[in-house]
C-alpha cells in the first residue's frame, strides 16, 4: 500500500458458502467471515459527496454475498483470491487486503484462514 492511500474497510462480513476439501464440508453451507481493506483515494468522493465517486461498500458486500451463494471453493485461498480479483477489477481499487476466516473449520480454534494483499497491475 502506498503511504497516504485511503482505505475503505469492511469488517466481519458474515457469509454462508460451500467451502472445504472434506466430504462433510461439501454437504452444507458453513460460515466464513471476511475482513476487506480497500486502498483507494476518497478525495473526489469527499469533495463531491456523491456515491459514484467512491467505492460503495454496500455494493461490495452484495457482490461478496453473490460470490458466496453461487460458487463452491475447496480452498480458502481460492475464495480469497477471487475476492481480491473482484475488488481490483470490478471496483477499480488500487490495492486490497482480504482476510478470510473459517470459524467452524477447527474445533480448538476460534478461526483459521488466510490473509492476502494484492495490488492493481
Inside any domain, residue 38:
yes
Answer left, alpha or beta for residue 39, where phi above 0 means left and psi between -120 and 50 means alpha. beta
Inside any domain, residue 1:
no
Average pLDDT of 32-39? Answer: 97
Inside any domain, residue 18:
yes
Structural domain total, the chain: 1
Q: What is the reported pLDDT for 44? A: 84
As beta bridge partners, residue 62 has none
Q: Is 99 a catalytic residue?
A: no
Would the pLDDT of 50 be above 90?
no
Question: By residue range, what is the domain housing residue 57?
Answer: 6-119
Average pLDDT of 90-105? Answer: 93
Inside any domain, residue 32:
yes
Q: Catalytic residue among 14, 28, 99, 102, which? A: 102
User: Per-residue confidence at 115, pLDDT binned at 50, 70, 90?
Assistant: very high
Q: Looking at residue 68, which CATH number applies to its domain?
A: 3.30.1130.10
Q: Are strands 6-17 and 112-119 parallel, antiparallel or unpaired?
A: unpaired
Whole-Å CA distances, 108 to 44, 104, 111, 114? 46, 9, 9, 17
Would the pLDDT of 60 be above 90?
yes
Residue 108, Cβ density class (10 Å: 0-12 exposed, 13-18 middle, ≥19 buried):
exposed
Inside any domain, residue 92:
yes
Amino acid at each position: 500500500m502506498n503511504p497516504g492511500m485511503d482505505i475503505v474497510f469492511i469488517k466481519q462480513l458474515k457469509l454462508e458458502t460451500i467451502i472445504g476439501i472434506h466430504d462433510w464440508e461439501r454437504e452444507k453451507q458453513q460460515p466464513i467471515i471476511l475482513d476487506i481493506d480497500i486502498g483507494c483515494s476518497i478525495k473526489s468522493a469527499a469533495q463531491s459527496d456523491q456515491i459514484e465517486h467512491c467505492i460503495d461498500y454496500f455494493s461490495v458486500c452484495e457482490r461478496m454475498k453473490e460470490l458466496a451463494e453461487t460458487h463452491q471453493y475447496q480452498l480458502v485461498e481460492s475464495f480469497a483470491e477471487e475476492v481480491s480479483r473482484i475488488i481490483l477489477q470490478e471496483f477499480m481499487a488500487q490495492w486490497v487486503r482480504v482476510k478470510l476466516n473459517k470459524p467452524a473449520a477447527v474445533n480448538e480454534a476460534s478461526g483459521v484462514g488466510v490473509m492476502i494483499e494484492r495490488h492493481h497491475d
